[in-house]
Amino acid sequence: MIWWPSEVPTLSYGLTTLRALTSADISDVYRELQDPVIHQFTTILPNYTMEDAKSYVTKKSTQYLAEKNELAFGIVHDGIFSGVVSLHDIHLADHSAEVGYWIAASMRRKGIGSTAVRLITDYAFTTLGFRRIEAKVDVKNEASNAVFLKEGFQFEAIMRSAKTALDGTQEDMILYSSIFG
């Protein structure tokens, strides 16, 4: 059985902390989600507005948590807002979820993504009771592919034409999984 928290906990390792998103994060989220690399590799679209950022933070911090649709954390590294990591596409009956994240451009290549994935995956398994965590990564996203392999996720498949790119073409995704135990 999955145990679902009533509020987002704080998880830490070294200089990296995962914590609830707050209204104080809205301007950071807005600024960082102007990055075309994030648009290329996530579902976040270009022309991101401040209103989009407000909605994003509000939904991820309260609505989705209450609906048990998503458990999202702000990532803070050495006191600097660095991105977001979440469990989403949650299937409570199957004890499974998907993990995804984005990291601010200035904070990449510092091990923050790996630490965030490790913290949220460990929490999902040991505290929440999930048995399977998946990650779906664009085949061209070398950094994220490396993160999931480093954190012990296993390659399962190439999902052909699984994502529609910004230019309307279909792109392949790689499916990774981590199994509890």
Mean pLDDT score, 71-79: 98
pLDDT at 181 over 90: no
Q: Is 92 left (phi over 0), alpha (psi -120 to 50) or beta?
A: alpha
Give percent of the chain with pLDDT exceeding 90: 93
Confidence of residue 74 (pLDDT cuts 50, 70, 90): very high
Alpha helices for the chain (secondary structure H): 26-32, 36-41, 50-58, 64-67, 112-123, 142-150
Architecture of 11-131 per CATH? 3-Layer(aba) Sandwich (3.40)
- Per-residue pLDDT tens digits for 124-180: 999 999 999 999 999 999 999 999 999 999 999 999 999 998 889 999 999 999 999
Q: Is 175 left (phi over 0), alpha (psi -120 to 50) or beta?
A: beta
Say how far apart CA 69 and CA 78 lie, in whole Å: 29
Mean of the per-residue pLDDT values of the chain: 97
pLDDT at 45 over 90: no
Going from N- to C-terminal start, the domains of the chain cover: 11-131
**pTM recorded for the entire structure:** 0.96
Give me the phi and psi of 68, to 5 degrees please: 60, 35
The confidence score (pLDDT) of residue 147 equals: 99
Lowest mean pLDDT among 22-31, 37-46, 120-129, 143-152: 37-46
